[in-house]
């Protein structure tokens, strides 16, 4: 069982190799709109690899970082991330 923990969602050969080798993934998300957009794009790309190569890879969750408790933007992004996970499963 192999996990990957990704903080910097870029589409590089290293990311592809890690996704293909892993069974599970945890995405670290800064509570900012662009970070959530990047996480969504990364998850979509993961789904593309899963479908293309018949890979079993599951996102276990999204871990927020650099958040300000009670901040309006932070609360919105956390809620949007929860909705994203709910749509996935």
Tens digits of residue pLDDT in 3-60: 555 555 566 677 788 888 888 888 888 999 898 998 888 888 889 989 999 988 888 8
Work out the end-to-end distance of the chain between its first and last CA atoms, rounded to an integer number of angstroms: 21
3-state secondary structure of 89: coil
* Biggest CA-to-CA distance, the chain: 41
Angle subtended at Cα 78 by Cα 72 and Cα 81, rounded to the nearest 5 degrees: 140
Instruction: Give the whole-angstrom CA distance, residue 86 versus residue 7.
Output: 21
Q: What pLDDT shows up at residue 15? A: 77
CA distance 60 to 73: 24
Q: What is the pTM of this model?
A: 0.78
């Amino acid at each position: 069982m192999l996990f990957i923990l990704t903080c910097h969602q870029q589409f590089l050969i290293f990311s592809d190799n890690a996704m293909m080798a892993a069974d599970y993934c945890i995405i670290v998300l800064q509570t900012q709109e662009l970070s959530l957009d990047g996480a969504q794009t990364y998850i979509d790309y993961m789904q593309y690899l899963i479908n293309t190569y018949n890979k079993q890879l599951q996102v276990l969750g999204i871990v927020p970082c650099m958040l300000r408790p009670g901040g309006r933007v932070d609360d919105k992004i956390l809620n949007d991330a929860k909705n994203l996970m709910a749509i996935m499963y």
